């Protein structure tokens, strides 16, 4: 009995060891950097996709059915280029501050986390700038299966009411307060909880990625407050949200909720896939993903054909000084791009009106790149993997 028990425990522990051993660990290579350029596709026709439950065992997700309905390119701005950089000079990048409100968030990027320290937002024609009362950690590293962090944060933008004529007139015209306020404050609070709930292989139309899946839940609340001086009590902030927004010409949400699942892979500074859920987390609203893929009714991505396409040739490949591109029959090509494995655009050029052109590579780092050929609409009409080798 003792030997059997020992065997059982040993076998269980061995299974756990090998199970854990197969999991990825993500470093700060997933953190955004200034200048990053992301190609992001969105698919809203998601009836064929199902969100799998979290699991400690290796999971394989088949996303080969993804295709691009909408495509956008995002560039990560350097904090030093921001209008409020002087207030947040120890930050590196700028992100969107608040969904639905806009604004800029100034982010401090370290070896272990990304934290929003402050931001600026335009409201009623005025720009408000403020540090976070509680800084907002949006990501951390290293990441492993089962890891979680939760962060409550708040940021408040206060201004003398006389400096916001439109809002002052709105309050005077539509709102009845016992005492005239001297200042107005926009108060945003929120909570973010992030958990690595699964790990495994993410099969995309181009290749397979080793990923950790991170569930992110964000709850936010917005208030408009007026500062009034109350006898005996002194200055007090009063919530006038319903009064102001009830008279506002456009509806402004006061609460927000979002849940999404990011499939993250080492060395990629954008999610391979992001699944956006509805408010109740019972249905997928849309899927964002890295790259651009065309729909194929045979369920085989057109991109796979493009990767092996003989419509244009690249030589030498690998190259140490330059690539020569022969367009062959691609007569509608107008531009070319080189993108590294991080998703960063490292070269872009207009294609001359001739069959062959060259792309210098002497200043590029060793490694693999995607060379894509685009038509005048910006659509990819050919793509190949190329290698720089000095």
Q: Where are the domains of the chain?
A: 28-290, 309-388
Rg (CA), the chain: 26
Residue identified by tokens 């005996």 is: 232
Question: Is pLDDT of 104 > 80?
Answer: yes
Interstrand relation of 183-203 and 59-62 (parallel, antiparallel or unpaired): parallel
Cα angle for residues 332, 338, 339 (degrees, 5° grid): 125
Question: Is pLDDT of 5 > 60?
Answer: no
Q: Does domain 309-388 have CATH number 3.30.300.30?
A: no
Could you tell me the pTM of the whole model?
Answer: 0.69
The average pLDDT across 205-218 equals 93
Other beta carbons within 10 Å of 47: 7
For the record, the structure tokens of 132 come out as 């976070």
The average pLDDT across 7-15 equals 38
Torsion region of 365: left, alpha or beta (phi above 0 gives left; psi -120 to 50 gives alpha): beta
The DSSP bridge partners found for residue 201 are 60, 210
Q: What is the pLDDT of residues 255-290, one digit of tens each?
A: 888 999 999 999 999 999 999 998 888 899 999 999
Task: Give 2's pLDDT tier (boundaries 50, 70, 90).
Answer: very low
Interstrand relation of 77-78 and 284-290 (parallel, antiparallel or unpaired): unpaired
Instruction: Give dist(CA 276, CA 292) in Å, integer.
Output: 18
Across the chain, mean pLDDT equals 82
Instruction: Give dist(CA 152, CA 220) in Å, integer.
Output: 10
Instruction: Give dist(CA 35, CA 54) in Å, integer.
Output: 34
Question: Is pLDDT of 189 > 90?
Answer: yes
Give the 3-state DSSP-derived string for 272-298, with helices as H, strands as E and coil as C.
CEEEEECCCCCCEEEEEEECCCCCCCC
Instruction: Give dist(CA 273, CA 287) in Å, integer.
Output: 7
């Amino acid at each position: 009995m003792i030997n059997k028990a020992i065997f059982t425990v040993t076998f269980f522990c061995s299974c756990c060891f090998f199970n854990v051993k197969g999991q990825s660990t993500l470093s700060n290579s997933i953190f955004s950097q200034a200048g990053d350029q992301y190609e992001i596709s969105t698919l809203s026709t998601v009836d064929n996709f199902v969100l799998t439950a979290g699991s400690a065992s290796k999971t394989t997700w088949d996303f080969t059915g993804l295709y691009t309905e909408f495509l956008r390119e995002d560039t990560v701005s350097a904090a030093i280029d921001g209008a409020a950089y002087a207030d947040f000079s120890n930050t590196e990048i700028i992100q969107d501050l608040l969904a639905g409100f806009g604004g800029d968030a100034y982010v401090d990027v370290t070896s272990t986390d990304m934290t929003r320290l402050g931001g600026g937002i335009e409201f009623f024609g005025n720009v408000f700038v403020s540090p976070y009362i509680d800084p907002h950690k949006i990501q951390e590293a290293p990441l492993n299966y089962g890891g979680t962090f939760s962060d409550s944060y708040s940021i408040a933008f206060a201004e003398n009411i006389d400096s916001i004529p439109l809002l002052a007139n709105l309050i005077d015209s539509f709102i009845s307060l016992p005492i005239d306020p001297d200042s107005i404050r926009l108060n945003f609070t929120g909570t973010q909880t992030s958990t690595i709930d699964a790990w495994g292989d993410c099969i995309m139309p181009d290749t397979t990625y080793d990923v950790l899946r991170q569930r992110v839940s964000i709850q936010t609340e917005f208030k408009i407050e007026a500062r009034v001086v109350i006898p005996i009590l002194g200055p007090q902030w009063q919530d006038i949200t319903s009064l102001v927004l009830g008279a506002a010409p456009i509806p402004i949400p006061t609460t927000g909720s979002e849940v999404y699942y990011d499939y993250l892979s080492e060395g990629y500074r954008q999610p391979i896939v992001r699944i956006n859920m509805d408010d109740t987390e019972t249905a997928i609203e849309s899927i964002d993903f890295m790259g651009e893929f065309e729909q194929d009714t045979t369920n085989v991505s057109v991109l796979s054909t493009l990767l092996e396409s003989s419509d244009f040739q690249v030589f030498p490949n690998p190259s140490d000084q330059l690539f020569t591109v022969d367009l062959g029959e691609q007569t509608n090509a107008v531009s070319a791009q080189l993108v590294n494995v991080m998703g960063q655009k490292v070269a872009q050029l207009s294609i001359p009106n001739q069959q062959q052109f060259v792309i210098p590579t002497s200043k590029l780092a060793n490694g693999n790149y995607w060379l894509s050929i685009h038509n005048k609409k910006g659509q990819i009409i050919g793509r190949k993997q190329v290698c720089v080798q000095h």
